[in-house]
Amino acid sequence: MAADILLTRIDNRLVHGQVGVTWTRALNANLILVANDLAAKDPLQQKLMSTTADSSGADIRFFTLEKTIDIIDRAADRQKIFIVVKTPADARTLVEGNVPIKAINVGNMHFAQGKTEITKKVYVDAKDKEDLLYLAGTGVKIYIQDYPGDKESEVNDQLLKNV
């Protein structure tokens, strides 16, 4: 039986109030899986994110991308999983590693040098564009949506044409 992955979200802040409470509750997730190599090795970051997850009632795990790929198929049936990654590249690594992701929500990707504004909260560069279009090309539903219930913007060539 495949892991029950409710949603994967790209958010450069990883788990914060919006993700740890609003999204987790809207999805009815009982496990937040942070798939990020740096967070998997950073106890302080884990402590801060765990506090946020606790307020939603969900468990939280911190795995490297490789560990996520290696063990996702061992998830228990009762686990309703919400995966959070930092970048489109992280999401692409999981999809290439055969993690059964059906939908990717692009949340926050902050402004940085060389990035182009797509929405008020999503800025991408050429590498992000390449990874996002790769993901869209695999048949994964990929869209930008800030909060549950907000309008969804499909990620496609048209949306990313100016990047």
Which residues belong to the active site?
A: 16
Estimate to the nearest angstrom the gap between the alpha carbon of 10 and the chain centroid.
3
Q: Are 131 and 89 in contact (CB under 8 A)?
A: yes
The span from the CA of 63 to the CA of 33, in Å, is 7
The span from the CA of 128 to the CA of 85, in Å, is 13
Q: Which of 68, 66, 86, 1 is nearest to 31 (CA)?
A: 68
Amino acid at 118: I
Write out the two tokens for 68.
């996520």
